[in-house]
């Protein structure tokens, strides 16, 4: 096929030869890009050619990571790949259609989730699927996949994941801001665009600095067109918080504590979460009681897990290890901060409601 050549790879799962279709230089010309970098092109669509799938066993991945898989990840994939073989593996050749691209990218996303792959790669695949739906003018599915991309990009940012050199921290921050804007959450979009604009020059590329400034300005005009409107918004949020808390007999000092510890944006957005909590639970959320207790319990201990939390605590060398929001359960003895329900036979050191990663959750500090 004109504009395409093939490259031979070896499937790391079944060891079969896989012939990968790649685009030649000049196979397409970019006419324009959307604000989230989606390209509109003349010629072959590059989105159709970002993935690889083995026609023998069904293993799929981005081309740049196709041969990079651990033996543990292979074991995780085997049940899924067995089901795929039973239902029939679809071949994807050099001349690819929109349906081929969707099948390829959906297979990669599904397998990356099973493997618990790098969150940036999951976000990247989800964003490419959203772009496919945009090209098909399917707004509902586009929004679903933009939301998935956003959530994984946020995880990548929080975990300081390794990013492509062309993107970097500023580029990822800009994409997060743009996705929030496309999903209608202008408050968060404005905050993220401001974060990129305020980064030191040595931490951002000129392109993303310019794009973030443009987005920030557009959002200011869309969401806060004047200082007076901003003051009105702040007053309205404070009034709503105060009304919600007063109905539960909670003092203004608790409201001030809630805003001070969470920020006005977040405090305003969690009002629905607070509706079903008791007065004592709300006071616990406002005071960050869970974090104070965690600091007390973890003092001197080795701390692993959630990187954002780890940076806020002082890690030592004492046993047992403190695990913060672990994705897999540690071997005993250990102390765990988690939002998972309690199991029998575990000693609870603290439990209550707290604000973590943008949500009010029931948290437990327990000994296993």
Give 53-87 pLDDT, tens digit per residue: 998 899 999 988 898 899 999 999 998 888 877 76
Contact, 112 vs 64, CB < 8 A?
A: no
Cα–Cα distance for residue pair 359/353, rounded to 1 Å: 10
**Interval 265-286: pLDDT, tens:** 778 878 888 988 999 999 999 9
Residue 110 has pLDDT above 80, yes or no: yes
* Locus of tokens 């001030």: 256
Comparing 272-281, 306-315, 330-339, which segment has the lowest mean pLDDT? Answer: 306-315
Task: Find which of 71-75, 197-201, 235-239, 265-269 is predicted with most confidence, using mean pLDDT.
Answer: 71-75
Residue 178 has pLDDT above 60, yes or no: yes
Provide the pairing of β-strand 301-305 with 347-356. Answer: unpaired
Show the tokens assigned to 6: 């093939």
Q: Which residue has the higher pLDDT, 27 or 218?
A: 27
- Percent of the chain whose predicted confidence (pLDDT) is above 90: 51
3-state SS, the chain, equals: CCCEEEEEEECCCCCCEEEEEEECCCCEEEEEECCCCCEEEEECCHHHHCEEECCCCCCEEEHHHCCCCCHHHHHHHHHHHHHHHHHCCCCCCCCCCHHHHHHHHHHHHHHHHHHCCCHHHHHHHHHHHHHHHHHCCCHHHHHHHHHHHHHHHHHHHHCCCCCCCCCHHHHHHHHHHHHHHHCCCHHHHHHHHHHHHCCCHHHCCHHHHHHHHHHHHHHHHHHCCCHHHHHHHHHHHHHHHHHHHHCCCCCHHHHHHHHHHHCHHHHHHCHHHHCCCCHHHHHHHHHCHHHHHHHHHHCCEEEEECHHHHHHCCCCCEEEEEEECCCCCCCCCEEEEECCCCCCCCEEEEEEEEEECCEEEEEEEEEC
Comparing 79-88, 111-120, 175-184, 269-278, which segment has the lowest mean pLDDT? Answer: 79-88
**In the prediction, which pLDDT does 154 show?**
94
Cα–Cα distance for residue pair 151/92, rounded to 1 Å: 29
- Percent of the chain whose predicted confidence (pLDDT) is above 70: 93
Residue 366 has pLDDT above 80, yes or no: yes
The CB density around residue 7, as the number of other CB atoms within 10 Å, is: 11
pTM of this prediction? 0.61
Mean local confidence (pLDDT), 207-227: 73
Domain ranges of the chain: 4-149, 163-225, 227-280, 289-367
């Amino acid at each position: 096929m004109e504009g395409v050549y093939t490259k031979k790879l070896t499937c790391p799962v079944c060891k079969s030869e896989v012939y990968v279709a790649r685009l030649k230089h000049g196979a397409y010309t970019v006419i324009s890009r959307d604000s989230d970098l989606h390209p509109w092109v003349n010629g072959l669509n590059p989105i159709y050619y970002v993935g690889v799938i083995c026609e023998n066993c069904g293993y799929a991945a981005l081309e740049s990571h196709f041969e990079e898989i651990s033996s543990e990840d292979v074991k995780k994939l085997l049940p899924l790949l067995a089901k795929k073989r039973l239902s029939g593996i679809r071949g994807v050749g050099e001349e690819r259609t929109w349906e081929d691209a969707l099948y390829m990218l959906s297979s990669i996303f599904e397998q990356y989730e099973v493997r618990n792959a790098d969150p940036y790669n999951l976000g990247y695949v989800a964003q490419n699927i959203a772009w496919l739906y945009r090209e098909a003018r399917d707004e509902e599915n586009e929004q679903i996949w933009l939301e998935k991309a956003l959530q994984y990009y946020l995880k990548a940012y929080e975990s300081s994941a390794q990013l492509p050199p062309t993107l970097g921290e500023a580029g990822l921050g800009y994409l997060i801001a743009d996705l929030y804007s496309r999903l209608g959450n202008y408050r968060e979009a404005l905050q993220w665009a401001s974060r990129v604009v305020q980064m030191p020059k040595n931490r951002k590329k000129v392109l993303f600095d310019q794009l973030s400034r443009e987005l920030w300005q557009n959002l200011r005009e869309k969401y806060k067109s004047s200082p007076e409107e901003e003051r009105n918004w702040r007053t309205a949020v404070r009034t709503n918080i105060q009304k919600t808390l007063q109905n539960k007999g909670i003092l203004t000092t608790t409201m001030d504590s809630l805003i001070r510890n969470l920020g006005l944006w977040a405090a305003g957005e969690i009002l629905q979460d607070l509706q079903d909590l008791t007065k004592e639970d709300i006071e616990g959320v406002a005071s960050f009681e869970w974090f104070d207790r965690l600091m007390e319990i973890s003092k001197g201990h080795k701390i692993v897990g959630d990187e954002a939390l780890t940076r806020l605590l002082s890690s030592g060398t004492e046993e047992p290890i403190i695990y913060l929001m672990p994705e897999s359960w540690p071997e005993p003895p250990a102390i765990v901060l988690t939002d998972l329900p309690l199991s029998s036979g575990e000693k609870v050191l603290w439990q209550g409601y707290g604000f973590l990663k943008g949500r009010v959750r029931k948290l437990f500090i327990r000994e296993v």
